[in-house]
């Protein structure tokens, strides 16, 4: 039932900005399409990460991608990003 009614999931973490005075959101976005609905219905949610990686052009985003972008923009330090990411290799 949830696989048919769910449209998107947006998660966020707040991490310290490089200036130390504020926190900035790190986002993870899953947009539900037919592939995602099928994975949920078949209880194969462990494969959603892979769908999110291939769905970047659709607007999907992993926390690690969001962190890498914040590091490239000079908003978050690499040390902070490493503490919050799943795969430090994404940060370069």
Per-residue pLDDT tens digits for 26-66: 999 999 999 999 999 999 999 999 999 999 999 999 999 99
pLDDT at 28: 96
Q: Where are the beta strands (DSSP E) in the chain?
A: 8-16, 23-31
pLDDT at 10: 96
Cβ burial 14-38 (10 Å sphere, 16+ → b, else e): ebbbbeeeeebebbbbbbbeeebee
Q: Does the structure show a pLDDT above 90 at 92?
A: no
What CATH code would you report for 2-91? Answer: 3.40.50.300
């Amino acid at each position: 039932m949830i696989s048919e009614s769910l449209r998107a999931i947006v998660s966020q973490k707040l991490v310290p900005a490089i200036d130390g005075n504020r926190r900035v959101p790190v986002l993870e976005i899953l947009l539900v399409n037919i592939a995602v609905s099928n994975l949920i219905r078949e209880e194969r949610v462990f494969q959603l990460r892979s769908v999110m990686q291939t769905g970047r052009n659709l607007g999907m985003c992993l926390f690690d991608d969001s962190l890498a972008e914040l590091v490239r923009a000079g908003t978050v330090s690499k040390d902070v990003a490493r503490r919050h990411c799943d795969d430090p290799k994404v940060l370069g």
